[in-house]
Amino acid sequence: MITFKLSFNNEAESLWLPVPPQSFEIQTGLNNTTVNIHELGEAVLIGKRRLKSVSLSSYFPIADDGLCQYADFPPPAKCIETIERWRDSKRPIRLKITGESVKFNEAMTIENFNYSQRKGPQDVYFTLDLREYRFLQAKTVPGAGGQTPVSKASSARPADRTPPKTYTVQSGDTLMKIAQKVYGDSGKWKALKENNNIKDERKLRIGAVLNV
């Protein structure tokens, strides 16, 4: 017996397909490139492995018809809601296929999920197209004090900056707004008030230069 199980969020949720697909196919290959070499003709450059893809087709039964692998399976509406919610989360799921002759355990993305009903019992027939998901890790390069991760974020300019020494009051400004602009913390408005001997913070003069 071959079982097909889908899980989400490190198996916090799972769905064991009640009726296994009659057949399935795992597709993979290489990203080869064909080039034309002068006086030699076409040649193939062997590339890296492509992502695996799997297509599963079966149905969610409304009642046990003798083909279900277990009892107390969820109703079709619940199965549909679960898969659609996982798909819309924009996070990978995990597919486990377990049998005597095959074992498959991969993180996958939901590429397509189609379902329909046919005349007769209210079973829901579906096709689920999955593609392998690769978890990407930042590379490290030698740096002071050990390894330094290299990523897009590391090439950006530092977020912290030295605040300006003075600030010119603009229309609509309050001490809280100015503190947020120059310090990144509106709670420091009292420091502005004390540094500039402001008696009434509600009467800021437009164009006044404040020491920050």
Helix/strand/coil for 186: helix
Query: Per this entry, what is the length of the chain?
Result: 212
Other residues' Cβ atoms within 10 Å of the Cβ of residue 76: 20
- Report pLDDT for 7: 97
CA-closest candidate to residue 82, choices 16, 174, 164, 149: 16
Which run of H or E residues covers position 76?
Answer: helix 76-88
- Report pLDDT for 147: 59
- Report pLDDT for 143: 60
pLDDT tens for the chain, residues 1 to 212 = 899 999 999 999 999 999 999 998 999 999 999 998 887 889 999 999 999 999 999 999 999 999 999 999 999 999 999 999 999 999 999 999 999 888 999 999 999 999 999 888 899 999 999 999 999 877 766 665 555 555 554 444 444 455 567 888 888 888 888 888 888 888 888 888 888 888 888 888 888 888 88
- Report pLDDT for 145: 56
Other residues' Cβ atoms within 10 Å of the Cβ of residue 71: 7
Contact residues for 17 (Cβ-Cβ < 8 A; gap 6+): 3, 4, 5, 6, 56, 58, 69
Query: Backbone phi, then psi, for 160, in 5-degree steps?
Result: -75, 150
Structure tokens given for 201: 């913070």
Structure tokens given for 102: 């095959």
Other residues' Cβ atoms within 10 Å of the Cβ of residue 111: 13
- Report pLDDT for 150: 55
- Report pLDDT for 114: 96
CA distance linking residue 195 with residue 112, whole number of Å? 62
- Report pLDDT for 66: 92
Note the helical H segments in the chain.
Answer: 76-88, 175-183, 189-195
E strands present in 38-123: 41-45, 53-60, 93-98, 103-117
Contact residues for 58 (Cβ-Cβ < 8 A; gap 6+): 17, 19, 20, 21, 22, 125, 126
In contact, 212 and 196? CB cutoff 8 Å: no
